[in-house]
């Protein structure tokens, strides 16, 4: 079993650290956020992720998982240093590598000979070179091992991945990284760093394309009187297309797709290719957010000024507490800018959000509302008492941006209902 230092203990780093400890490795997770580290040392999990609490507790109890502040105490005797720090969108759309470079500069002088540095952050082609330079160590191999987990099922995805991608110039370093995943039944693709880095961006860009495509088809369905649910079902049974990522909604968001699609456009541009298709995917997504906001305004009679709008769902997807680049927040901003009073509920209990009232009960959210907007696909919204909702609202209007609620049951109760891609 190996000694692994994980630098950056966020959604990816914490999952990576907890899962590697579960696989039997000796893991130390590092962060610069002292409060986060103190909480993790006590076994408190700072994010909502199914099964993560059990794995962290198991790792702490077995002594295979530790949390520390600062890389200095973590990498001195490690076999592998995994970089799991943020790569946010830079001012020109490209990925900002400053966190990666800073972390690499910090650990460079401390790494033992023979250690392998692994990039798990999503980074553009050429980043292994950037890390090599920042490390300042010609004896240390840098390997790309991108992560494909989905928030909300991160532990499951890490331990049951569709594939493991390893990009390395140095084949012995690639084999070492592959050995960390022993016991995980998944195809392993060993390739060069540029291909590994491109696989990650291309995969995210393709998934975003699928969502934008189905949202565009949903707009056509609305115009021609077709039902997107049946259209997507009929398309999805074609095994070349598949059912996944064919659900229309308010547009994609989250911490990855927005920055990764723009970074891919930029990577292509820098390499002399105009990725017009992907630019279109981004435009369709921007328009989809606007379309959903406009549906809510329409439902409110053409203006939301001074009106109460109830929102169910704030996170960018269900089963996570992640609000980063959430379509819900974008749509809410739009409504608030037009004078709406927004009262929102989300099962992840996100705490206060500026400009709106966040309540801890879905029924409190709809009280006195003229429109209910369902913006995240939390399963629990399906089973709420619609009679109670009808009684509490001042007008019976629902915009269901996830096609989640029972349309017939709402219509029976006198609701005006607007989904996505179905009349």
- What residues are annotated to the active site? 256
Q: Is 370 in the site for ligand NAD (CB under 6 A)?
A: no
Q: How far is the CB of 129 from ligand NAD (least distance, A)?
A: 17
Cβ nearer to ligand NAD, comparing 255 with 403: 255
Q: Is 85 in the site for ligand NAD (CB under 6 A)?
A: yes
Q: How far is the CB of 181 from ligand NAD (least distance, A)?
A: 16
Distance of CA 265 to CAs 205, 210, 275, Å?
A: 9, 16, 6
Task: For the chain, state the CA radius of gyration.
Answer: 23
The only residue of 5, 6, 9, 389 in contact with ligand NAD, by rule CB under 6 A = 9
What are the residues whose beta carbons fall under 8 Å from the beta carbon of 237, sequence distance 6 or more?
Answer: 243
Q: Considering only residues 347-366, where is the footprint of ligand NAD by CB under 6 A?
A: none
The only residue of 4, 5, 6, 7 in contact with ligand NAD, by rule CB under 6 A = 7
Q: Considering only residues 114-173, where is the footprint of ligand NAD by CB under 6 A?
A: 121-122, 147, 149, 151
End-to-end CA distance of the chain: 57
Q: Is 20 in the site for ligand NAD (CB under 6 A)?
A: no
Helices (H), 89-170: 98-107, 127-135, 154-159
The only residue of 103, 164, 221, 401 in contact with ligand NAD, by rule CB under 6 A = 103
Q: How far is the CB of 122 from ligand NAD (least distance, A)?
A: 4
Do the Cβ atoms of 370 and 300 come closer than 8 Å? yes
* Residue at shortest CB range from ligand NAD: 10
Cβ nearer to ligand NAD, comparing 87 with 261: 87
The only residue of 3, 4, 5, 13 in contact with ligand NAD, by rule CB under 6 A = 13
Q: How far is the CB of 7 from ligand NAD (least distance, A)?
A: 5
Cβ nearer to ligand NAD, comparing 31 with 341: 31
The only residue of 94, 255, 315, 397 in contact with ligand NAD, by rule CB under 6 A = 255
Q: Near ligand NAD by CB under 6 A, which window of 3-11, 189-197, 217-225, 269-277?
A: 3-11
The only residue of 3, 4, 11, 80 in contact with ligand NAD, by rule CB under 6 A = 11
Cβ nearer to ligand NAD, comparing 102 with 391: 102
Q: Take residue 395 and report the two structure tokens written for it.
A: 């007008």
Cα 103 from Cα 109, distance rounded (Å): 11
Cβ nearer to ligand NAD, comparing 194 with 395: 194
> How many residues contact ligand NAD, by CB under 6 A?
27
Cα 23 to its chain centre, rounded Å, is: 24
Cα 358 from Cα 311, distance rounded (Å): 9
Cα 276 from Cα 285, distance rounded (Å): 14
Cβ nearer to ligand NAD, comparing 102 with 360: 102
Q: How far is the CB of 106 from ligand NAD (least distance, A)?
A: 6
Cβ nearer to ligand NAD, comparing 71 with 115: 71
Q: x/- string (CB under 6 A) for ligand NAD, residues 30-69?
A: xxxx--x---------------------------------
User: Which parts of 10-126 are beta strand (E)?
Assistant: 26-31, 65-69, 80-83, 116-119
Cα 7 from Cα 131, distance rounded (Å): 13
Q: How far is the CB of 360 from ligand NAD (least distance, A)?
A: 24
Q: How far is the CB of 68 from ligand NAD (least distance, A)?
A: 10
Cα 107 from Cα 78, distance rounded (Å): 11
What are the residues whose beta carbons fall under 8 Å from the beta carbon of 350, sequence distance 6 or more?
Answer: 314, 315, 321, 323, 358
Q: Take residue 208 and report the two structure tokens written for it.
A: 């975003």
Helix-strand-coil split of the chain, %, nearest 5: 45, 15, 40
Q: Measuring CA to CA, which residue among 83, 99, 89 is closest to residue 17?
A: 83
Q: Measuring CA to CA, which residue among 191, 182, 179, 189 is closest to residue 80?
A: 179
Cα 248 from Cα 292, distance rounded (Å): 11
Q: How far is the CB of 280 from ligand NAD (least distance, A)?
A: 23
Do the Cβ atoms of 14 and 92 come closer than 8 Å? no
Q: Measuring CA to CA, which residue among 146, 145, 138, 77 is closest to residue 111?
A: 77
Q: Which residues bind ligand NAD (CB under 6 A)?
A: 7-13, 30-33, 36, 71, 84-87, 99, 102-103, 121-122, 147, 149, 151, 255-256
């Amino acid at each position: 079993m190996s000694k692994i230092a994980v630098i950056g203990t966020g959604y990816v780093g914490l999952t990576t650290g907890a899962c590697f400890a579960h696989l039997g490795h000796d893991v130390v997770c590092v962060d610069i956020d002292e409060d986060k580290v103190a909480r993790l040392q006590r076994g408190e999990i700072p994010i909502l992720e199914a099964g993560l609490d059990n794995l962290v507790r198991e790792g702490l109890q077995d002594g295979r998982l530790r949390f520390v502040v600062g890389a200095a105490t973590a990498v001195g005797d490690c076999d592998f240093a995994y970089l799991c720090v943020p790569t946010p969108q830079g001012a020109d759309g490209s990925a900002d590598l400053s966190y990666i470079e800073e972390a690499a500069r910090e650990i460079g002088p401390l790494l033992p000979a023979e250690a392998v540095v692994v990039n798990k952050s999503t980074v553009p082609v050429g980043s292994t070179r950037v890390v090599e330079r920042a490390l300042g160590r010609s004896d240390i191999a840098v390997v790309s091992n991108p992560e494909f987990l989905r928030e909300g099922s991160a532990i499951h995805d890490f331990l049951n991945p569709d594939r493991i991608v390893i990009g390395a110039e140095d084949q012995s370093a690639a084999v070492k990284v592959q050995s960390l995943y022993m016991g995980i039944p998944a195809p392993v693709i060993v390739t060069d760093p540029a291909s590994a880095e491109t696989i990650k961006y291309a995969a995210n860009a393709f998934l975003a394309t699928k969502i934008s495509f189905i949202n565009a088809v949903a707009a056509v369905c609305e115009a021609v009187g077709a039902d997107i649910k049946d259209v997507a079902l009929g398309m999805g049974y074609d095994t070349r297309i598949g059912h996944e990522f064919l659900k229309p909604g308010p547009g994609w968001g989250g911490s990855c797709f927005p920055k990764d699609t723009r970074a891919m456009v930029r990577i292509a541009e820098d390499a002399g290719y105009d990725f017009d298709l992907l630019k279109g995917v981004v435009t369709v997504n921007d328009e989809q957010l606007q379309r959903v906001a406009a549906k809510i305004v329409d439902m409110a009679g053409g203006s939301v000024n001074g009106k109460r709008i109830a929102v169910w769902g704030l996170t960018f997807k269900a089963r996570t507490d992640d609000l980063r680049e959430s379509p819900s927040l974008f749509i809410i901003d739009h409504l608030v800018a037009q004078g709406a009073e927004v009262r929102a509920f989300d099962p992840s209990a996100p705490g206060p959000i500026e400009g709106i009232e966040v309540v801890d009960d879905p029924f409190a959210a709809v009280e006195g509302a003229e429109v209910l907007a369902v913006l995240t696909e939390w399963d629990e919204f399906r089973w709420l008492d619609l009679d109670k909702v009808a009684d509490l609202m001042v007008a019976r209007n629902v915009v269901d941006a996830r096609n989640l609620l029972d349309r017939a049951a709402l219509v029976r109760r006198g609701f005006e209902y607007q989904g996505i891609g179905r009349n």
